[in-house]
């Protein structure tokens, strides 16, 4: 995976409507663990999260100094996030991600605007 920033790409953010919620997990991680966390989150999303009703999209980012991994996942509503917590395997995967990272902070946002390059 390239660590070079890429300009001019369209945002992968989607707009599922006014009730959509984005949950942003910011992980602090040792630089040598960033790739392991990214791989784990991608696998967990592919195997479980994307099958949860109300899931819209997920985006993974890593800081250039490799000390932060940011995962923002869009959901159709706040209720979808609550439902996801009860979906088989979700909480176990979150716990396992926490074992790779030093810490993480989840923050919920409501998407207000999504802008892409022309």
Reported as a single tens digit per residue, the pLDDT across 30-64 is 999 999 999 999 999 999 999 999 998 888 999 99
**What's residue 77's pLDDT?**
85
Q: What's the mean pLDDT when you consider all of the chain?
A: 82
Q: What is the pLDDT of residues 83-100, one digit of tens each?
A: 888 999 999 998 899 899
Question: d(Cα 41, Cα 38) in Å, to the nearest integer?
Answer: 5
**What's residue 2's pLDDT?**
40
Q: Which two tokens stand for residue 51?
A: 């099958």
* Cβ burial 60-73 (10 Å sphere, 16+ → b, else e): bebeeebebbebbb
- pLDDT above 50: residue 1: no
């Amino acid at each position: 995976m390239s660590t070079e920033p890429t300009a001019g790409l369209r945002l992968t953010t989607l707009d599922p409507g006014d009730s959509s919620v984005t949950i942003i997990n910011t992980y602090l991680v040792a630089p040598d663990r960033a790739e392991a966390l990214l791989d784990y989150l991608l696998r967990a999303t592919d195997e479980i999260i994307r099958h949860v009703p109300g899931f819209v999209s997920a985006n993974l980012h890593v800081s250039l100094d490799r000390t932060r991994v940011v995962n923002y996942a869009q959901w159709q509503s706040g209720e979808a996030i609550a439902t996801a917590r009860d979906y088989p395997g979700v909480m176990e995967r979150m716990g396992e991600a926490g074992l790779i990272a030093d810490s993480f902070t989840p923050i919920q946002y409501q998407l207000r605007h999504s802008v892409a390059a022309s």
